[in-house]
Each structure stands twice: as structure tokens, then as C-alpha cells.
Structure 1
Amino acid sequence: FALFRMAMQGATIGGAALGGAMIAAMDPGWVLAIDAASFALAGALRAFLDVSHVPPRAPGGGLLADLRDGWQEFIGRPWLWSIVAQFSVVVAAVGAAESVYGPLVARDDLGGARPWGFALAAFGVGTLGGAFLMTRWKPRRLLLAGTLCVFPLALPSAGLAVPLPVAGLCVVMFVSGVAIEVFGVSWMTTMHQEIPEEKLSRVSAYDWFGSVAMMPVATALAGPVEALVGRSRALWGCAALIVLVTGAVLFVPEVRNLTRATSEVVAARALRPSSADAEGSVGRLG
């Protein structure tokens, strides 16, 4: 998962750099056309995936039945729904701070778009660093390590509220990039470890929906909130929300105690999937 996320974040950084170079060399319309073609190419590449080893599955009970089934899996795990609820606030606060307030602070206090571009680049480099770190570090308490690394996501909001000079802002953006990748790898590992494979897509749908549900509301309200309380107070509020909800989720015992499965447990699951899965979560907690 660390290597997967490293490739994903590296492609994001490389794509932005390539897009900038293409814009400098040709008309933006052609750049957008090439971008559209890249989606078609990415879709075509999936034809080369070898899925012959995947056993066929019986048809499901329909959309509503799948939604109910996924909801039962989702709501039955306190560690899962509590962290998704946490991230509905965290993603909203980060989105408001970095998508709305960040460019405004850069324009008014840092000298324009260029320093904000440096800060975003530092975040991107940080994500690569965090993914590389997770290729070497395997925390035993996956969710505890990941959740503790959500606290640094408050740093960019606080840095913009001050505001920090460009160098300081780049540092906090780099640190937050490292931190979010530690969480991201820990979260992916936990999901694949704890959720039955045949339920994973349904549970992931609730995970993604819940995590980003508040983002449109937050970005829409960012302007009115700034007009009401001022930009600095709004940014401090974003930082406080991140710290508050992250501290709250640490009160969930499963978040503190769920541990990474050893290779012996994984092997036992492969041999005895039904009994191992039934006992797995209980055995790893406490």
C-alpha cells in the first residue's frame, strides 16, 4: 500500500509539472484534449489486468440490498464509522483552509501565487516522504499511529492564520504531507485486514462518501465565515476543529487497540477463512 500511494502521489506531482510545461508550450485547449485522451488510455490499460484467478461471484440482491449490506458492515465497526465521522470534519476544515483561504493569504500576505505553489509542492513532496517512510515502518497499532498523524494536519491552517513566512509555511505543509500518508497507508492496511474482501467495495463507498460529504458545505461557507469572524479566526477555527475531532476519536477503544495482523494470522486466515475472520477482530483487540 505504501508503494501504491507513493506511485499515486508521485504521479500527482509529475502530472502537475508536466501540465505546467505543456501549458507553456501549447494552447490550453490542446492540453485539455491530451488530458482527456489520458483518461481513455488509463481505461484501456485495465483490459490488461489478469483476473482469471478471481473466482466468479453469485449475483447480488440489487442496489438497495447492497447498500443495506454495506451499511451493516460499516455501522457495526466503531473504529470505522468514528474515523469516517472524524474525517468528514477534517477534510472539510482542510479543504476550506487550503482551497479557499490559502490562495487569499498568499495573495494578500505572501506575495502572490508563486509562494503558495511552493507550499503545495512541499506538501506533495511530504506525501512521497510519508509513503517512503511506511515502506520501512510497520506500526503495530495501525489506527493509533495513523490517528496521531492526523493532528499535524492542523498545522497548515495555523500557519496560514499567523501567517508564517513562505519557508515556515513550506515546512508545515511538508510535515502535514508526511503525516497524511502515514494515516493513508495505515487506513488502507486496516480496511483490507478487517473488512471481508467481498464487502470491501461497499464499505469503501460509505467511507469515501462520509469523508468528503462536508467538503462542498465547508468551501461554500468559507467566504461567509471569513466575512463574519475574519480570516485569521476562521483559520484558527479550522485548526481547532481538526485537533478536537482527532482527540475525540482516540476515546474509541478499537482505534487505540486494533493491531496489525502478523504473517501467521494472515496465513491462518487463508487456510481457515471463516473461523479466522470470526475470531480475528476479537483476538487483536485488548
Structure 2
Amino acid sequence: MKTAAGSPTIRSTPLRVAAFRRFVSANLISATGSAMAPLALAYSIIEQGGGAGSLGLVLATNTVPAIVFLLAGGLLADRLSRSRILFLGNLLAAGAQGALAAIVATGHATTASIAVCGLVSGAAASFTVPAAQGAVSQIVPAEHLQQANALLRLPSNAVKVLGPVVGGFIVAASGATWALAWDAVTFAAAAVLLLGLRLDAPLTASSVVSDLRAGWTGFWSRTWLWTYTAAGTVLVAAWLAGFQLLGPLVAAQQYGGARDWGLVQAAFASGLLAGTLVCLRWKPHRLLTVAVAVGGALALPLAAMGWGLPLPVVLIATLLAGIGLDIAIVAWTTAFQQHVPQAEQGRMSAFNGVGERLAIPLGYLITAFAAHTWGNQSVLLACAGLIAAAAILNLCVPDVYRINRPIRNDQSRIAK
């Protein structure tokens, strides 16, 4: 399989690369199930009598494996075929979601059994995330990376617009089983497509210890990378605790339950889609500055729900948050791919991923406890404040303004 370094640079679009089309197709198929899964998971807990504590435990259990296994996943992504890792990870996720659908369908679902399935799904993601991060830059020439990142997100974000709405009606009409089962099927189909990529291992492996030591040295030497990760530790935990944990509960108490929460998620997905369209046309020079600044928009829907604003206002705030997040993701991913060498991307992605996830399990548990003590809406406002503070503090780091789009005739320059 050709890497990006050996690919022709005359192609006007990444979609002319057959391997990239296969990668996009796998992502799209998987997205049709993943768009429904969070809502189905939340309401499978609510239907069996669980509240913030039960949902927080399940979400935390899903996240813990990422912290435990993500470094191993990043190391393997730099040493083994990334397509093989993606195949096995998606296959494992398919098994976990299939088992979850089965226990929900048979009425044997408990908080503990749902948490175990989440544990397996989280472990699968620990290996696929670093592999996917580096796979795009193996497939696509460097000058087309932003377009490739945007095109990769375009079809999946389009699916996410209708997915939560359809999922909300499915869950409201017949329970969570069918949405969870479809998620399992799409993971399996994506696994088959990803196996066909046949990407070579990007690194001649040395010892595990020396690879990890070199990875940590590279991570710590890039101030822009570890400060972005540190800010993400707070921002990601506050966003997920507020939106995934408290959002469905507030929707059930204050709005129209699964139906209205489906609309909120659809608004968020619509924002993601709009942000992707922006990224297809807008190519900012200051990639990292843009990523940090627009990521702060995630505070908007949490503040709107915390203040108890009407549903239309919440939908607008969620739409803006989605736009900001997708621009941030594309800008950040492009900056990462252009400023980190190919052979280090698995480990750098893993260190970044571990850092951003460190506080998530604790954040879920603290948020569940705080919501029980002070109420859901007060805690939502606190989460919004933390997101805004993290973005502002990250913008105070001078190195953030140095990670810019390489000049066209100097694409090979790597930030140290």
C-alpha cells in the first residue's frame, strides 16, 4: 500500500484515492449506527429505573479502558498495520454492541451488565482511535489533509443529523434494542471494509520501552501539544459530563424526553455538518488558534439548558456548538498531521487521547454526585464555565500561535 509520501501530488481531491474512498465508506456505515447509540444507551438505563448515578457509572466504565489501553493502542499503531488494528477494533465493538442489544432485548439489562459491554466497547476504541488518526496521513498527500479530514467527517455528520431523530422515535416507540443492534451490524460492516485497506506498518519497531520513552520525549517537547491536551482534560470532561450525562436527564425532566433529546442531538449533528462544509472552503492559516478558540462554543448549549431556556434556544445553542466543534476537530487534526512526523503519530495521538480522557470518569462521577446535591441545572452551568475557562487559558499559551498551516512550497516542515 502506498503511503502519502509516495502518492502522486497532482490529485485534485482525496476522493480520487481508492483507499481513501474505502476509509470514508467504512466511517459512513459505522456512523449510521453510532448516531443512534448514545441516545439508546442513555434511555436503556432510564428505562430500567436508573438515574444520574447509574448513567454516570456506565459512561465512566466506557471511558476507563481508553485511559488504560490507549497508550498500548498508540504504540501498536506505530508498529503494526493500522488497517489490521482498525479491523480488529471494529469487530470487537460489534460484538460488544451485539451483546448489549441482546441483554436489553431479553430484559436482563442491569447497570452492571450494560457497564461491562461499555467496558469492551471502550477497549476497542482505545486501539482504533490512534490507528485512525495516523491512517489518513498514510493514505492522503500532505497538501490535501484538511480536505481529506473534512470529507471524512462530511458523510458521517450528515448521517448524524437524522440518526438521533430516527433513534429518538425508535427508542420512544419500541425501546433501545433495535438501535443498539443496528450499531453492532454497522461496526461489523465497517470492519470488513477497513481490512481491505492493507496499510503497512509505519515504523521499524525497536523495544517497547524505548518507543514509549521516545514518544513521551516528543510529546513533552511540543509545548503546543501538551498544553492543548491539558486544556482538553478539563474541556472534554466538562462537555461529556454536561451533555451526555445531564443532557438526557434534563430533557426527561424539563423538556419532552427522548423525542426532544433526539432533536437536540440532531441540532448538534447539523452543526457538525455545517462546520464540515465551512472547512471544505475555509483554510485558516492559524490552525491551532482557530481550533482552541472555536472549541469554546461547547459551553453554549450547557449554559442554555442550565438556565432553563426554551427548547428552540437550546437547539440554536447546540447548533452553534456543533459548528464550533467540527471546525476545531478538522483544524486540530490537520495541524497534528502536518506538524507531527508520520512514524510518531500513533504515540502522539495516544498521549493526547489519554490526557484528554483522564478526567472523564471522575468527571462523570463527580457530576452525578453534584447533580444529586445541587441539581442538574446548577451543575450544567458549572460545566459551561469550565469549558469557557479552559479555552481562554489555552489561548494564553504563546506556542499556540506558532502552529500554523505550512507554506505551500514547504509542506515537509515539521514543528519541533
TM-score between the two structures when normalised by the length of structure 1 = 0.84
TM-superposed CA distance for 1:194, in Å, is 0.6
Q: Which residue of 2 aligns with 1:240?
A: 385
Letter in 2 for 1:145: V
Q: Which residue of 2 aligns with 1:61?
A: 207
Alignment size in residue pairs? 268
Q: Which residue of 2 aligns with 1:45?
A: 193
TM-superposed CA distance for 1:104, in Å, is 2.4
- Distance in 2, matches of 1:186 and 1:256, equals 13
- Distance in 2, matches of 1:22 and 1:157, equals 26
Q: Deviations over 1:144-191 (max 9, x none)?
A: 111110221111111011111010000000000000011000100110
Q: Which residue of 1 aligns with 2:372?
A: 227
Provide structure 2 residue ranges, at least 5 long, that are not aligned to the other structure.
1-148
TM-superposed CA distance for 1:197, in Å, is 0.5
TM-superposed CA distance for 1:32, in Å, is 4.6
Q: Deviations over 1:202-241 (max 9, x none)?
A: 1001111111221111111112112333333212211111
Q: Deviations over 1:215-273 (max 9, x none)?
A: 1111111121123333332122111111111111111111123211122111xx2xxxx
Q: 2:168 touches 2:261 (CA, 8 Å); kept in 1?
A: no
- Distance in 2, matches of 1:192 and 1:118, equals 34
- Distance in 2, matches of 1:215 and 1:75, equals 22
2:218 maps to which of 73, 79, 84: 73
Letter in 2 for 1:223: A
Deviates further, 213-222 or 174-183: 213-222
TM-superposed CA distance for 1:27, in Å, is 9.1
SS at match of 1:172: helix
Residue 234 of structure 2 corresponds to residue 89 of structure 1: yes
- Distance in 1, matches of 2:158 and 2:169, equals 17
TM-score between the two structures when normalised by the length of structure 2 = 0.59
Deviates further, 175-184 or 102-111: 102-111
- Distance in 1, matches of 2:366 and 2:385, equals 17
Residue 413 of structure 2 corresponds to residue 258 of structure 1: no
Q: Which residue of 1 aligns with 2:4?
A: none
Instruction: Flag the 1:56–1:109 CA change in 2: closer, same or farther, 3 A.
Output: closer
Q: 2:165 touches 2:259 (CA, 8 Å); kept in 1?
A: no
Provide structure 1 residue ranges, at least 5 long, that are not aligned to the other structure.
270-275
- Distance in 2, matches of 1:157 and 1:17, equals 20
- Runs of 4+ aligned structure 1 residues displaced above 6 Å come to 20-28
Residue 287 of structure 2 corresponds to residue 145 of structure 1: no
Q: 2:242 touches 2:383 (CA, 8 Å); kept in 1?
A: yes
Residue 136 of structure 2 corresponds to residue 136 of structure 1: no
Structure 2 counterparts to residues 75-224 of structure 1, below 5 A: 75-224=220-369
Instruction: Flag the 1:211–1:130 CA change in 2: closer, same or farther, 3 A.
Output: same
TM-superposed CA distance for 1:35, in Å, is 3.7
SS at match of 1:150: helix
- Distance in 2, matches of 1:25 and 1:115, equals 14
- Distance in 2, matches of 1:229 and 1:134, equals 40
Q: CA RMSD in A?
A: 2.5
- Distance in 2, matches of 1:17 and 1:105, equals 17
- Distance in 2, matches of 1:212 and 1:263, equals 34
SS at match of 2:235: helix
SS at match of 2:379: helix
- Distance in 1, matches of 2:258 and 2:288, equals 36
Instruction: Flag the 1:99–1:192 CA change in 2: closer, same or farther, 3 A.
Output: same
Q: Deviations over 1:96-116 (max 9, x none)?
A: 111222222222222333222
Q: Which residue of 2 aligns with 1:272?
A: none
Letter in 1 for 2:189: L
Letter in 2 for 1:45: L
Q: 2:237 touches 2:363 (CA, 8 Å); kept in 1?
A: yes
Q: 2:202 touches 2:343 (CA, 8 Å); kept in 1?
A: no
- Distance in 1, matches of 2:167 and 2:201, equals 41
- Distance in 2, matches of 1:28 and 1:143, equals 39
Q: Deviations over 1:11-36 (max 9, x none)?
A: 44455566668779999656655543
Q: Which residue of 2 aligns with 1:273?
A: none
Q: Which residue of 1 aligns with 2:151?
A: 3
